[in-house]
Chains A and B, each alone.
Chain A
Amino acid sequence: MTATMGTPQDTTPVVRGAAAGAGGGAPFRSRRPRPLISHGRWWWALPAVLVVVLIHYLATAGGAFYAFTDWTGVGDFDFIGLENFRRIFDDPAMIGSIQNTLFLAFGFLIATNVVGLVLALALNRTLRTRYLLRVLFFMPVVLSPLAVSYVWKFIFDFNGPLNGVLGWIGMEPRLWLADPGLALWAVLVVMAWQTTGMVMVIYLAGLATVPAEIEEAAALDGASTWRRFRHITLPSIRPSVAIASTLMLIQGLRVFDQVMALTGGGPAGATETLATQVYKETFALSNFGFGAALALLLTLIMLVFAVLQQAATKDRS
C-alpha cells in the first residue's frame, strides 16, 4: 500500500539503500528537500549566470538609467530625474498610447482565450475531421506576423476585397485602417486571428487531462452541459487557463509588428501603442532618454499585470 502512494520518481529510498525493513539494520535518516543546485556544484552554472546577468540584466539596467537622462543618441546628456516620466503623463498622445496598449492587450486576452477555448472544446473529441481542422486553425500561428499583417492590409485596403464585398451587398466602402474608430479594432482582429490557434492548442493539451469517465458520470447524474463545463472541465484545465492568459496578456501588451505593418500607429496616433511609441521616440526622433523612459514604463506595466494575472488564476484548492 505504501508503495502505491509514492510517485514513479520517488526512488530515493532504493538509491540510498535506507528503506525500512531492508534488514540491514541501518538507521532511517530523515529526508531533507534537496536544493536545485547542490552546494559545491553551483559554480558550474556560474558562467551561464554571469552571461545572463551581463547581457540581459545589466544591459536592461543600463537602458533604465538612460530613462532619467535627456540623451539624444549623440553627444552629451544631462541627468533630468523624473522629467521624462512627467512628460509621458502630461502628453495626451502618450496617455492615448497607454490606453490603446491596454485596450489591445485585454481585447486580445479575451478574444484569443474565448475563441481558442471554444475551438478546443469543439475539436477535442467526437468530430471526425478534428485533426484536419486543428491544423487549419493552427496554421496562421506559424506565419510571420508581418506577412500576416500585410495580407490583412491588402484585405482592409480601400480598394481591397473587404470593401468589394461591402459594395457587392450594396454598402458604402469603409476606411478600415484610416478611420480612427475602426483602425484599432482592425489591428485587434488581425492579432487575434493569428494567435487563436496557439491558445486552442494549449487548451487542447489541458482538455486531454480531463477524465472522460467523470464527465460521463456527471452526465448520467443529469448535469447539464454548462454545469459539466463549469464544475468539471474548467477546474481541470485551470493550469492551461493560467498559461494561455499569461502568454496572451504579455503578447498583447508588447504588440508592435501588427501595428507597424497595418497602420504605422496612425491615423494621427489613433493606434499608437507604448511599444510603437518607444520605437518612434528612440529610433525615428532620436529621443533616446524619453524612449527609454517609455520602455521602462512598458516593462513595469507588463510586470504588474503579469503578477496580478498570476494571482488571479492561481489554483487555491
Chain B
Amino acid sequence: MRRLGVLAAVPAVSVLTLAACGGGDEDGGAAGAAGPADSFTWAFENASGGAENPWLVLAEEYTEETGVQIETQPLPPDSYGLTMRTQLQGGNAPALMMFAPGSGQSSSVIPLAEAGYLEPLGEASAALVPEGSESQFGIDGEIYAQPTSLIPVAVTWNAGAAGEAGVEYPEDFDAYLEACRSLADEGRSMAVIAGAVPPNPGLMSMAISATRVYAETPDWNDQRAAGETTFAESEGWQETLQTVVDLNEAGCFQPGAPGAGFDAITQGITQGTSLTAFLPGTAANELMNATPGLELDTRAFPPAEGEPYLLASPNYVLSVNADADEGEKQAALDFLEWMADPENAERVTEIQGGVPITGPGENLNAAYEPVRDLLESGSYAPLPNQGWPNPGVYDALATGAQGLLTGQSDVQSVLEAMDQAYDQ
C-alpha cells in the first residue's frame, strides 16, 4: 500500500507543482524489458553533452574488449537525481547508475540504498572504498557504491597565461591577494568564477575550507553530525567565508563576476585573461583536451597559515539496480568487477582524468604533479558536502557565497542558514 502511495505521489506532486515541467524523452529504460545477459543499460550525468564523455569512451572500450553491449543513457546533471529516483520508483531504472557518495546531493547514493533500491556489491568493490569513508558508500556493513577515481577539487592554475604575465603561483594567502591587485591593474584577473551559478561559488568555498577547516580538523563533519560543533560556531568556517569576502574586496575576480555564467570560466581560462578557476580536476582536464596549447594544472588554495591541504575524493560512484533483470544485473556486476581490476582501473582513471583510487602512481596525470606530495601523504579530505545529511546544506552554502559576492549576505547569516538546513 505504501509502495502504491509512493508510486502515485510522483505524478501527483508533479501535477500540483509544475505543469510546465514536462518529462524528458528518455525511453523507459531496458531494465523492465527482458534483456540478454550480454547487454545492460547504464545511466550517468553528461554535463557537456559531447561524445568525449569519459563514461561513453569507457563503455565503448568495454564493448570492444568483452563483446557485451552497453546501452548508455547520458542525462543532464540538473535533473539527473530526480530522473533516477523516479525511474527507480517506477521500476524502469537502468541496471547500472552513476551516483554521488554520501547523502549531501540530489544524486547521492545513501538515501537510495536505505530505501532498498540498490544491490549490495561484492568484495572487489568494497576493497576500493577509501578507509574511513565506508559510511558514504554503504549502510549496515554492506557496500552499495563502487568508487571510481579520486577527483581533486582545488585551484585550476592557468600555467601558460601565468607565464606570459610573469606571475608565480602564490604560496600563501597574502601573496595571493597581492597578485590579485597587481593583475587587476593590468586588466587581468587572478580568478574567474561563475558567480551567477551558485554551485561555482559553493565549490570555491569548499575548496577554501580544505585549509581553513579540514586541514586542522579532518573529522569536522563527524563532529558536526555528533552535535559537538556547528557551522556558525566554527572558526574554520567563519574564516573560509571571510576569505571569500576578502577575495572579492581585493578585486581577485573578473569584472562582472557576480553575474557571470560558466561560459565566463571557459573564456577567461582559454583566452588567458584569468589565471585561476575553481573546478574539479576532471573539468580542467576536459578544458585542456578541448583547447590545444592550453596549459593547466592543479594547485591547493594557499593557506592563511600552516601547510597546504586539498580536497580529493571519488566524486562519482557506480551502483546496481536491485530490481533490474537478473541477466542485466549480473552483466552490470561483471562490469564493476572489470573496472575494479587494477589494470582497468588505471585506464578508467586515465579516461576520467582523475587520480587512481589507491593513490598516485607513476602514471599520475601531469596536471596533478604540483599536488603529488599532498596526494601521496594523504593531505586531503573528501568533498565536504558528501558528509552532509541533505542537499539543502550545500545549497545554503552556494547561495550564501553568491550573496557574499553581491553584498546581500554576511558570513554569520550564511553559516546560520547552513546550520538550519543541516538540522532539517
List residues of chain A with CB under 8 Å of any chain B CB: 55-56, 59-66, 71-76, 157-159, 173, 175-180, 256-257, 263-264, 266-270, 275, 278-280, 282-288, 291-292, 295-296, 299
Contact = CB atoms under 8 A, between A and B. Distances in A.
Nearest to A163: B256
B366 interface: no
Interface stretch (B31-39, B299-307, B390-398): B390-398
B392 A75 contact: no
A212 B47 CA distance: 61
Interface residues of B, number: 50
Contacts of A66: 9, 12-13
A158 B256 contact: yes
Interface stretch (B133-141, B165-173, B190-198): B190-198
B27 to A, nearest CB: 21
Given A56-B15, A180-B406, A270-B408, A75 B400 contact: no
A143 to B, nearest CB: 16
A37 B217 CA distance: 74
Interface stretch (B16-24, B59-67, B120-128): B16-24
A282 B405 CA distance: 27
A283 B21 contact: yes
Contacts of A296: 16
A63 B13 contact: yes
B10 to A, nearest CB: 8
Interface stretch (B80-88, B149-157, B233-241, B374-382): B80-88
B112 A74 contact: yes
A234 B11 CA distance: 44
Contact of B114 (A71, A75, A264, A267): A75
Interface of B: 2, 6, 8-18, 20-21, 78-79, 81-82, 85, 88-89, 106, 111-112, 114-115, 117, 195-198, 255-256, 258-260, 390-392, 395, 399-400, 402-403, 405-406, 408-409, 424
A71 B106 contact: no
Contacts of A74: 6, 85, 88-89, 111-112, 115, 117
B256 A175 contact: yes
A286 B258 CA distance: 27
Which residue, B15, B82, B88, B390, has most C-beta atoms of chain A within 10 A? B15
A283 B79 contact: yes
22 contacts: A62-B13, A63-B16, A63-B17, A66-B12, A73-B82, A74-B112, A176-B259, A178-B196, A264-B196, A264-B197, A266-B198, A267-B258, A267-B406, A269-B403, A283-B82, A284-B395, A285-B390, A286-B106, A287-B392, A292-B13, A295-B13, A299-B16
A264 B21 CA distance: 15
A72 B111 contact: yes
Nearest to A173: B256
Given A75-B114, A286-B106, A59 B256 contact: no
A185 to B, nearest CB: 15
Contact of A175 (B6, B21, B258): B258
Contacts of A63: 9, 12-17
A256 B12 contact: no
Contacts of B409: 268
Given A157-B259, A175-B259, A279-B21, A268 B403 contact: yes
A268 B399 contact: yes
